[in-house]
Homo-oligomer: A and B are copies of this chain.
């Protein structure tokens, strides 16, 4: 069993990006600039955004954090999105989800200029991903592709089961894995709450990508000997022994599943750091106009 060290790969990629940025600066270019809008004080969102700001520093990017209280109106938020769309100094920006209930997340997502949509959530980017055209790839699936690439994990012709059909992980992940490309070219099955025999589907899989958000859902008896396991889950489970009062729990029963695997990602330190690195990559691509 080989542990997929997302943290180490992410650190390597951040160094690669930082080197590219220094090259750009040396050639008289401009530092990539990522802006993030954070509404309210959700604990998870606070952490994610703080990590993104820190990653920007590590990559040599300029970052701008724009904070609003929970009572911001949809109109005000749309006005800010419009301002960022038209600010030529901002290469890309994200609006951290979730948003308060009185704001239509889809409306905000679609208001972002797709050429600055470094989260890859805009329909144009989702569509180009599905079709197999260059685009800002959704961060988590792209991070997973990068892990498969860097560990030379074979995917062509392999049976890949994706657990979960969310718009930001499950569906784009399935699209990328079935695409005529390497990594990719896999036979992909997407399972979800209505799947009748998830355990059976998993047992036949060479690669399982678990993105259900259900702690320890994937048990040892659901996994084939030698399988590759990618764990996207990051549920916060209360834990009094931790400083923060919780620990991150993956969708995979790591302790019992790991011994059966050829490769497995831990939680934390697997997919999580790669998601942020994908955002950094998209920002670099935006700043250097390599996609649009």
Contacts and interface: CB of A to CB of B under 8 A. Distances in A.
Nearest to A168: B131
A259 interface: no
A106 interface: yes
Given A124-B123, A180-B165, A187 B187 contact: no
Contacts of A188: 189-190
A222 to B, nearest CB: 15
Interface string A116-147: 00000011111111111100000000000000
Contacts of A201: 187
Given A126-B131, A127-B123, A165-B180, A175 B171 contact: yes
Contacts of A159: 196
A192 B196 contact: no
**Chain A interface mostly:** mixed
A192 B156 CA distance: 11
B192 A178 contact: yes
A152 interface: no
B178 A187 contact: no
Contacts of A167: 130-132
